[in-house]
Amino acid sequence: MKLYNSLTRTKDEFFTHTPGRVEMYTCGPTVYHYAHIGNLRSYIMEDILEKYLRYSGYDVNRVMNITDVGHLTSDGDTGDDKMLKGAKREHKTVMEIAKFYTDAFFADCKKLNIAIPKTVVPATSYIGEFIRVIQVLLDKGYAYESGGNIYFDTSKLDKYYVFNDFDEEDLEVGVREGVEADGNKRNKTDFVLWFTKSKFEDQELKWESPWGVGYPGWHIECSCISLKNNGEYLDLHCGGIDNAFPHHTNEIAQSEAYLGHKWCSQWFHVHHLNTDGGKMSKSKGEFLTVSLLEQKGYDPMVYRFFCLQSHYRRSLVFSYPNLDNAATAYSKLVAKVAALLGAQGTPDEEACNQLRSDFRAAMDNDLNTSLAITAVYNLFKSDADSATKLAMIKEFDSVLSLNLIEAAKKLSQQGSGYDEELPQEVTELLEKRKAARKEKNFALADELRDKIAELGYTVEETRQGTIVRKKD
């Protein structure tokens, strides 16, 4: 499998430190508010990546943090505490906010068929571990105390600007975002490991440390949680492209300073979801959540399908007309699957291998989900028999997770699964036939079936419902 690696900036052959096993880490959400659908795009693509690695035979150990402390409004350690902002907004405690939005995040994941990583660690449960690693960084001379806080000294590294396409001026995060720069830093790229002298008088969450009462910085969380649960060699680190700098740059700095050797070999970054007005955010324009899409009548699977239709390294533009197009394409796909449901017999192994190779070629090419969906469409056009096609749909959907079989079954039960693709004349005859069968007027039902046949369609009753097929 070839995967684009943000570290080398090329598509490289995927490899692991231990053969057959992938140590994978995902930056989790900061649980101060609902995730917007742009955030969730990253989790959908990371989910597909994990499932495809498993499909390819790897044993995957995936770990994720939940940020419930330490993340300030600027990723460069300035601005307000996000959790505290959430608590003030809703007149709740920080831990109440954390619990509520962690649950909301997992509920969204469930709706979007995103599997929860095996290990999920809230940052507040690892305070002792953060303190231990920060102490090692201090002992090794990579960190210093200034103005009451502990900072990482980026000047001690041979190379810091990994992932950084910004120029020097952009690094002055404080200036750029209109917040006061931190005068305690020795170098402008230094970052906070531990806030000892809280800049927030009413900081709720604070812990004892060798440097005084305080709380951890955001970046140290991911390094510590991964080191503890993935070991010293991380194969794959995932996140949204926003996280690349400074967050991931800082994760590398701390982890490699702590370990004394290279830490993570491959970095997977998912690009932005944009609206017509630019990058999606919680504060600008309509706050787009999964629940909002549902309220507007969209199946969350349609949003997943919409994401899979484009490559993860391209910005994707969200608009309702675009989502409508995805909804139409998705229901057509489900209708095609529904037509296969009654299929009997054993799949043909040779035909399976051929269909499989198209799907794999797409996914092996830097996780090209849009081509993988084309491979699914091509499957319907192939000469393979229905049993083979159905078996392959099931197999591919174990990776794509579009609920294709479930949705197709539901459609068949409703008996209205074919309306979109059928001429109106046929649909009307089907409705009349359905009514006739309901009244047990089988003579009329047969008559109507013949009329449908004259129009070029066969009708078949199966356990899954009425199957209508165009005659070849």
Residues that bind Zn ion (CB under 5 A): 27, 222
How far apart are CB 243 and Zn ion at their closest, in Å? 6
Please check whether residue 185 is in contact with residue 94, taking contact to mean a CB–CB distance below 8 angstroms. no
How far apart are CB 225 and Zn ion at their closest, in Å? 8
How far apart are CB 251 and Zn ion at their closest, in Å? 6
Q: Which two tokens stand for residue 30?
A: 């900061």
Cβ-based nearer residue to Zn ion, 225 or 338: 225
Q: Which residues contact 176 (CB under 8 A, 6 or more apart)?
A: 169, 170
How far apart are CB 148 and Zn ion at their closest, in Å? 25
Q: Which two tokens stand for residue 88?
A: 């003030």
Cβ-based nearer residue to Zn ion, 97 or 222: 222
Cβ-based nearer residue to Zn ion, 3 or 27: 27
At residue 166, the 3 state secondary structure works out as: coil
Q: Which two tokens stand for residue 329?
A: 């394409």
How far apart are CB 138 and Zn ion at their closest, in Å? 22
Cβ-based nearer residue to Zn ion, 113 or 254: 254
Q: Which two tokens stand for residue 393?
A: 């749909």
Cβ-based nearer residue to Zn ion, 27 or 467: 27
Give the torsion sign (CA, 193, 46, 126, 86). positive
How far apart are CB 27 and Zn ion at their closest, in Å? 3
Q: What are phi and psi of 278, to 5 degrees?
A: 120, -155
Burial class, 120, CB count within 10 angstroms (exposed 0-12 / middle 13-18 / buried 19+): middle
Cβ-based nearer residue to Zn ion, 44 or 308: 44
How far apart are CB 79 and Zn ion at their closest, in Å? 18
Beta bridge partners of 4: 11
User: Which strands, in side-by-side order, build the sheet including 149-152?
Assistant: 143-146, 149-152, 191-195, 215-216
Cβ-based nearer residue to Zn ion, 250 or 403: 250
Burial class, 227, CB count within 10 angstroms (exposed 0-12 / middle 13-18 / buried 19+): buried
Give the torsion sign (CA, 53, 54, 55, 57). positive
